[in-house]
């Protein structure tokens, strides 16, 4: 069974999953480990969030571009959501991807 998190934006559903390949792609774009990126997320909040979303979309929505992720992010915020709510989705993403157990983040 493939584990993933669903992000709902403007009537669309995006399935997010961090596989080994997706993590390595994110680390390459961020030029740091994914854990370091999380620990220092305040230094580059939007850049880190959008790269993580981009990488997490690749396994189940291959070919999603960074430009599309920027649009999804904008639509999410325009839909009345907050960055804090998006960070909660990312936390859940890391839980289902095996980085830590539910509730330990």
Q: Where are the domains of the chain?
A: 5-96
Structure tokens at 96: 């289902």
Residue 103: which pLDDT band, with cuts at 50, 70 and 90? low
Residue 2: which pLDDT band, with cuts at 50, 70 and 90? confident
Structure tokens at 67: 């430009």
Residue 27 is predicted with a pLDDT of 96
Dihedral, 39, 76, 96, 64 alpha carbons, nearest 10: -100
Residue 67 is predicted with a pLDDT of 98
Structure tokens at 105: 């983040």
pLDDT score of 104 more than 70: no
Structure tokens at 45: 């909040």
pLDDT in tens, 7-55: 999 999 999 999 999 999 999 999 999 999 989 989 999 999 999 999 9
Structure tokens at 79: 């839909």
Q: How far apart are CA 6 and CA 61, in angstroms?
A: 12
Would the pTM of this model clear 0.75, i.e. be above it?
yes
Residue 46 is predicted with a pLDDT of 94
pLDDT in tens, 50-83: 999 999 999 999 999 999 999 999 999 999 999 9
């Amino acid at each position: 069974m493939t584990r993933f998190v669903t992000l709902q934006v403007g009537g669309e559903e995006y399935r997010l999953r961090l596989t080994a390949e997706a993590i390595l792609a994110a680390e390459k774009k961020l030029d740091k480990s994914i854990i370091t990126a999380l620990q220092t997320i305040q230094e580059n909040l939007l850049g880190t969030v959008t790269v993580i979303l981009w990488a997490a979309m690749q396994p189940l929505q291959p070919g999603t571009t960074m430009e599309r992720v920027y649009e999804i992010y904008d639509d999410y915020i325009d839909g009345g959501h907050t960055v804090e709510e998006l960070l909660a989705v990312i936390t859940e993403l890391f839980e289902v991807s095996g980085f830590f157990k539910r509730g330990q983040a």
